[in-house]
Amino acid sequence: QSVLTQPPSVSGAPGQRVTISCTGSSSNIGAGYDVHWYQQLPGTAPKLLIYGNSNRPSGVPDRFSGSKSGTSASLAITGLQAEDEADYYCQSYDSSLSGLYVFGTGTKVTVL
Amino acid sequence: QLQLQESGPGLVKPSETLSLTCTVSGGSISSSSYYWGWIRQPPGKGLEWIGSIYYSGSTYYNPSLKSRVTISVDTSKNQFSLKLSSVTAADTAVYYCARQVEQLGPQNFDYWGQGTLVTVSS
């Protein structure tokens, strides 16, 4: 029952581009709060992928990019690779009583 | 390189209190640039933020858990801790500790511990 909704799954062939949406509302993304993205490989802890809507931490390939518009945000992966198969979560701040620092529902990326 | 390590019992009985500690190495928990948080993930499910603490002791808690959660910090040991009372099976999860960037308030989590599975069962 997260306030940030993501598609359960997306898939693509190696080399393709996939996008993951994160849909919020006027109390979180729409209120101007930043969106951050995490990658969780199977059996491991989440890893910060994008912070402040579109910034990549050192070491994250430029194949990963983030954007935000209105009440939604998106993560794009270009040149999809087998190692990108993982769960991806968006995260933001929510000013209602829904949890303050909220995570999205999560998206499983499958490389075909 | 900053490292965070969770420690505590892997099995807790229903109605008892779950207690975990996160030990920070490679950096100071007293830095003014960061909060320190707890996040959990039930098996096969998504991430849920539990709460965060500043080195001064200032805390933020998830409203849905606030009545049962206490997070504290021990700067002398470079540790922070989580207590979750009156646990039920629904509290079974992998519990992660993480560093949260402070920029006009807590923001993203940039370093994470490996996580520890806590099972609630009699």
With CB atoms and an 8 Å threshold, state whether A52 touches B60.
Answer: no
Cβ–Cβ under 8 Å, residues A107 and A11? no
pLDDT tens digits, A69-101:
999 999 999 999 999 999 999 999 999 877 789
Assess A88–B contact: CB distance below 8 Å, yes or no: no
**CB pairs A-B closer than 8 Å:** 66
- What whole-number distance in Å separates Cα of residue A82 and Cα of residue B16? 43
Which of B65, B109, B116 should we substitute to test contact with A (largest number of A Cβ atoms within 10 Å)? B109
Distances (CA, A) of B72 to B82, B104, B109: 7, 22, 18
Alpha-carbon span B74 to B82, nearest angstrom: 12
pLDDT, tens digit (0-9, with 9 covering 90-100), for B24-42: 999 999 999 999 999 999 9
List, in order, residues 6 or more apart from A27 with CB less than 8 Å away.
Answer: A3, A94, A95, A96, A98
As a whole number of angstroms, the distance between CA A4 and CA B47 comes to 12
**Cα gap B1→A31, rounded to integer Å:** 35
Is the pLDDT reported for residue B87 higher than 90? yes
Question: Chain B residue closest to A42 (CA)?
Answer: B44
Reported as a single tens digit per residue, the pLDDT across A17-48 is 999 999 999 999 999 999 999 999 999 999 99
Q: Is A51–B52 a contact, with Cβ atoms under 8 angstroms apart?
A: no
Which of A2, A57, A104 is opposite residue B110, by nearest beta carbon?
Answer: A57
Cβ–Cβ under 8 Å, residues A77 and A64: yes
From B92, B91, B93, B96, select the one nearest B111 (Cα to Cα): B96
Q: Is A60 on the interface with B (CB under 8 A)?
A: no
| Paired tokens of A29 | 């993304």
Spatial distance between the Cα atoms of B112 and B114, rounded to a whole number of angstroms:
7
What is the predicted pLDDT for the residue at A96?
87
What is the pLDDT confidence band of residue A2, given thresholds at 50, 70 and 90? Answer: confident
